[in-house]
Structure formats: structure tokens, C-alpha cells
Structure 1
Amino acid sequence: MKSTRVLSALAIITAAGAPAIAGFTVINPPSGSEQSHFQIINTVYGGGFVPAGLGFTNGPISAIRAHDNNGAGGTIPGFLDVLNGSAAGGDDDQQWTDGVVSSESRAVFAGFSQSFGYFAGATGSIGGTNYIPLIDVVGNGYAVTGTNQQTFNSPFRFGRDNVAHDGVHRVSSLDTDNASDQMITYEITGVNGGRKTWLLFFADTVGGDYDYNDLVIELVVVPVPASVYGGMAGLGLLGTGMMARRRRLAR
């Protein structure tokens, strides 16, 4: 009887999207043969997952949903630190800071071509050449390729475009850049040797189906020795983002 209830719950979460909860964007059910967040996480991280709150777990590995907008009246309460941030920490996933990050494409369920990148600065135009591409994804479904490593030293926003980088259906992780939320984030624990890991799910079209499975990117923090950070600081290469993080940690 218990196993029947579990299987029924998994069938429901596979077909349905996430419910409406304050601070979290609603995820619509996937269309046709496309995959839900549950199915994607279950496939990428080895199976055996069950729902856990707004996320999922299989015991040793958990996918913890980050806030989408945790501010009153749409304000942004703080930056999410790539290196030391926490999905349960209260800052939402719209603006990010600091860290050396390896990024890899994990899935694409979309008709448009997919490019993953970012926009420098906490705010600012996402038009023209302000989009900085990191990965032009090749393939569809789970048969995708594309990797990159990038050092982020100051506030930035994640984004996606098509591989022509011409701004068609270009979106940002900052809701006010799009007039809607175009990215859902999970912190993945228990993988990659314990290194901080994030999984980003993009909706590639403003006003689209909002099942947030068009582009899925895994971010894994790359450890940098303290001596390297010290040398970079001496050369003035860390920028305002690292200094801001140190001020926050010193409070």
C-alpha cells in the first residue's frame, strides 16, 4: 500500500507543476513528451528521487529550491553568492556574486537554439552586446554538450539567448529585465565531491509555457586556493564583488 501511494505521488509530481507559494514562481506542467523538473533531476543525478517540499531527494542527494522573489513588493533583498550561498538562506536567485564556476549543459527541451551566458552588473540593459555567452549548447533532450569555466568577481545576472546571440528571446535571471521570472534554481547537495552545485532551469520565451525546461545548466564551484585569491587581490583583480562578500562575512 505504501509503495502504491509513493508511485501515485510520483506520477502526480511528474505531470504537474509546482504549486503557488509566496516567494516561489509557479512551474507549469511540461507539454507533450518534454520532461518535468522531477524527471530531469531524477535522470541527471541517478534516480530514486521523491518529492521533498518544493524540491526532491533520493537520500544522499537533494535538490533544494531557491527563492525566486523573496522581497516585499518585488524588491531584491540580496545577492546569491555562487560560492557560499544557500538555497535555504533567504536571498533569491535573481542577482549573483563571486566564485570560479564550471558550467555544463544538462538538458534542452525547446525548439529554439540555446546559449547560456550572463550580464555584468546587478542591473542594466540586457540588449546589444551586454550578453556575454559562455556556452552555445549543441543537441537536444539529454544528448547535449557544452562546458565552460568562468570567474565571477562582481554582481552579475545569468542569462540565455539563441546561438546567434542576436537578442531574440533573450532573458535574464533578474525578473525586472523580462517583466517575468525566466529562471528557476535548485541547490544540489551530495554531489561533485561536496562542492557547491546549482542547477538552473530557463524558460526561453517571455510569455511562453513556463515549464522551465527549455535549457538546464549545472554550475559547480571550482575551489581556488587562498594563496591564489591573495595574489589576485594584490593585483586588484578580485573586484568589488569579492570585497562585498568579505564585508558580509565579517558582520
Structure 2
Amino acid sequence: MRGILSVAAVAVFSSSALAGFTQVGKVPVGEHSQERILQTLYGGDFVRNETDFFNGTVTVRRVDDGMTSTPAMSMAFGTIGDTTDEVWAGSMFSIKAVAKFSLNTQNLSISDGVNTTALFGATGYGYDVTGSASYNATGKNVHFIRSGDSGTQSSIVADNLDGRDHMITYEVLGLNTNAKVWVMFWEDLDRSPSLAKNRTHSDYNDLVVEMRAVPVPLPAAVWAGGALVASTAVFGKRIRRMVGA
């Protein structure tokens, strides 16, 4: 009886630990899983712990897919637990395709809700892929859009025709870089009754992109102006304190 209770407790724990994360389905034969893709990108033998991975040097942590409060995730300073990956508080960033396990065309764009800008079209298959861009989204809240001959999907779940999450994001720590690194795994098929039974709609390896974001440094004139304002404020306080003394 105690053994049965222990198994049940583990099952409940595992279920609660994965709550708030989109479930990844089976990967078709001949394609690579997210773990295998991460090992190819960053080397080493990754060990999985629930939704995260670690290879002894690099830690890859899953961003939440469902939270009660969902402000924009900071590209340059965000971390897991802050919010979801639907909307991003922009900065300067570079982004590139690092893997593609789909024969569908793959295009990536960015939108601030008013204007949409094409970033790149990914070509190739497996890890032999091309497609990259640099963009300055400083001061904007933006979201990502994947499009191609299989349809269009957004990082904003409510914008998707099937109402599903189509982008899974990981925060990558331990690399020798000053940039904030994220890896995004896209699913390019909408779930629908017309989808053939042999098609997978939740492997999340159709388009994989790596984004590296850095904060935009303030111009020297702005720093000087800020210092001047700060000095004036302090001086003003000193005058008021002297007058009131």
C-alpha cells in the first residue's frame, strides 16, 4: 500500500511540476528532439530535470507558457519566472535559424502590434540552415510571428487559429557572452480534424532560432544630462535644507 501511495505522490508531483508548460509530443523518426538539438548547438551531454537541461557548463531553462500575470519579457534582462514568452520588451538583438526539421517554408517576423517587419526566411534542413537578422526593438513591446506554406502562427497564443501555443522558449546560461541568450522552438502545424493522422502537431522542432539580446547603451550626452539633473537635484535639496535650518 505504501508503495502505491509513493507512486501516486510522484505522479501528482510530476503533474504539478509541469503545470504551466506546453506539452511536447513525440518526435518523428529521423528528426531530432529538443534535447538532441540543444546538445548539437552547445555540446556536451545534457541531463534533463523536468523541463530544464544541464550539461555541466551550460544550463538551459524553460520559460513558463502559462502564468496569471503576463507582462512583457525583457529580451536583455529577463529570466524564467518573470513572465511568459508571448510578448517581449525589446532591445537590440541578433537572431538566426539554428535548426529546421520541417519541409514547410519557414519565415520569421516581428510585430509591435501595429507594424510587422520580416526578419528572415530560413532555408535548408537539419542543422544545415541559413537565415539571420539584427533588429533594434528598444522601447517597444513586440511579439514573433512564424509563417509559411503550413500557415501562420504567433508567439501570442490567442492570435493562433487553433488557440494553441506554437513557440516554446528556453533561457540559456553559462555561455561565454555578455548577451542574453534565448532559444525558441516553433511548431508549424495547426491542430485540426483535417490534419492527417501521421502528421505531428506538437514536436516543436520545425523551426529553431537563437536570439541574443543586449541593452542599448545610452549616448554620452544622455549620461551627461542625467548627471547634470542629478547634481542639480542634490544641490537643490542642499539649498532647501540650508534655508529650512
What interval of TM-score do these two structures reach, taking the shorter chain for normalisation? 0.7 to 0.9
Aligned identity (percent) is 32
- What is the aligned residue count? 200
Asked if residue 83 in structure 1 is aligned to residue 100 in structure 2, the reply is no
Cα offset, 1:131, TM superposition: 4.3
Secondary structure, counterpart of 2:117 in structure 1? strand
Q: Which residue of 1 aligns with 2:240?
A: none
Q: How does 1:98-247 map to 2 (within 5 A)?
A: 98-121=90-113, 131-152=116-137, 153-162=139-148, 169-178=151-160, 179-207=163-191, 209-227=201-219, 230=222
Q: What TM-score, normalized to structure 2? A: 0.75
**Amino acid across the alignment from 2:84:** D
Which runs of 5 or more structure 1 residues have no equivalent in the other structure?
Answer: 1-17, 125-129, 232-251
| Change in CA separation of 1:112 and 1:228 when aligned onto 2, cut-off 3 Å | farther
Q: TM-score, normalised by structure 1?
A: 0.73
1:111-140 Cα distance to aligned partner (Å, 9 max, x none): 20111112223xx7xxxxx64210111211
Tell whether 2:37 aligns with 1:40: yes
Please give the alpha-carbon distance, in whole angstroms, between the structure 2 residues aligned to 1:102 and 1:228.
Answer: 24
- Deviation string 1:17-75 (CA, Å, 9 cap, x unpaired) is x978211000002111111100000100012211133110112111100001112xxxx
Q: How does 1:14-33 map onto structure 2 within 5 Å?
A: 21-33=18-30
RMSD of the alignment, in Å? 2.5
For residues 120 and 220 of structure 2, the distance between their equivalents in structure 1, rounded to whole angstroms, comes to 26
Distance 1:30 1:19, change over 3 A: farther
Q: How far apart, in 1, do the equivalents of 2:58 and 2:190 lie?
A: 32
Query: Are residue 95 (structure 1) and residue 110 (structure 2) matched?
Result: no
Contact 1:37 1:213 in 2 (8 A): yes
From the CA coordinates, give the structure whose radius of gyration is larger.
2
Alpha-carbon deviation of 1:223?
4.8
Give the partner amino acid of 1:186: Y
Structure 2: gaps of 5 or more residues: 1-13, 192-199, 224-245
